[in-house]
């Protein structure tokens, strides 16, 4: 499924995704997180008060105040206090929150053993418990980028996601040509041949391997005639007046 399926599943839009790409939360995401935290706060407040009430009426219910009753009063009381303390740790200012990006091949798999009824999202080296319906919104093995709420450097709730690359293309994509080392000479088939064979008649340079001068047409010295005494050079045969050979 394309990105539209992911947007519908995680309830985000293009503005949210662009903000997450920049490493921040959108205004809409900040409002949604505030609502979510307030819901959690109400839950823990109610739970804490309920446990404290149970702890306070336990002696009346058991109609005795022995060691067993005291143990249960302490247990209910401790859990009630912890729940109320938990409500004080909720954060509602998300303006400075950062977004964590995790990229890699994506798989949604079923749990095993006692977790047989759960589903887990595997991306890169990370694993998160997710709704099984997410499997219908992704292509197993394709590369995705997921954006999470960052809580003390750890990934929190999933904010948005986007498809990056198919597994088939990644497996078969062409390998980029090697870039030549700038310090190494590169041979150019269209470059002119090296000049180093000088004509003994006119002194013009000629490509290495030439038998005749490209300018005057005279035969050039070769390995076979370099030692021939009849082959004499005539370079600069005309000297200025007054100068002897």
What confidence tens digit (pLDDT) does each residue in 205-222 have? 888 777 888 888 888 877
pLDDT of residue 179: 59
Residue 201 pLDDT level (bands cut at 50, 70, 90):
confident
Q: Given this model, what pLDDT does residue 17 score?
A: 93
What's the pLDDT tens digit per position in 83-114?
888 887 776 666 667 888 989 888 888 877 66
* Residue 11 confidence (pLDDT) above 70: yes
Most confident range, picked from 98-102, 124-128, 151-155, 237-241: 98-102
Could you give the strand order of the β-sheet that contains 126-130, starting from the edge strand earlier in sequence? 126-130, 119-123, 99-110, 143-151, 154-165
């Amino acid at each position: 499924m394309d990105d539209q399926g992911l947007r519908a599943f995680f309830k985000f839009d293009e503005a949210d995704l662009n903000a997450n790409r920049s490493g921040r939360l959108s205004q809409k995401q900040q409002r949604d997180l505030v609502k979510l935290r307030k819901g959690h706060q109400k839950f823990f407040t109610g739970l804490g008060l309920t446990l404290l009430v149970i702890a306070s009426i336990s002696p009346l219910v058991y109609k005795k105040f022995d060691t067993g009753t005291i143990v249960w009063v302490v247990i209910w009381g401790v859990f009630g206090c912890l729940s109320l303390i938990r409500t004080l740790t909720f954060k509602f200012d998300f303006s400075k929150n950062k977004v964590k990006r995790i990229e890699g091949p994506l798989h949604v798999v079923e749990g095993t053993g006692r977790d047989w009824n759960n589903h887990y999202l595997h991306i890169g080296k990370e694993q998160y418990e997710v709704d099984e319906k997410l499997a219908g919104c992704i292509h197993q093995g394709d590369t995705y980028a997921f954006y999470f709420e960052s809580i003390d450097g750890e990934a929190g709730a999933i904010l948005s996601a986007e498809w990056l690359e198919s597994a088939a293309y990644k497996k078969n994509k062409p390998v980029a040509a090697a870039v030549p080392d700038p310090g190494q000479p590169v041979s150019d088939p269209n470059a002119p041949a090296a000049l180093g064979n000088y004509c003994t008649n006119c002194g013009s340079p000629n490509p290495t391997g030439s038998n005749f001068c490209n300018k005057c047409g005279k035969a050039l010295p070769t390995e076979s005639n370099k030692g021939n005494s009849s082959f004499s050079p005539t370079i600069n045969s005309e000297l200025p007046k007054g100068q002897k050979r």
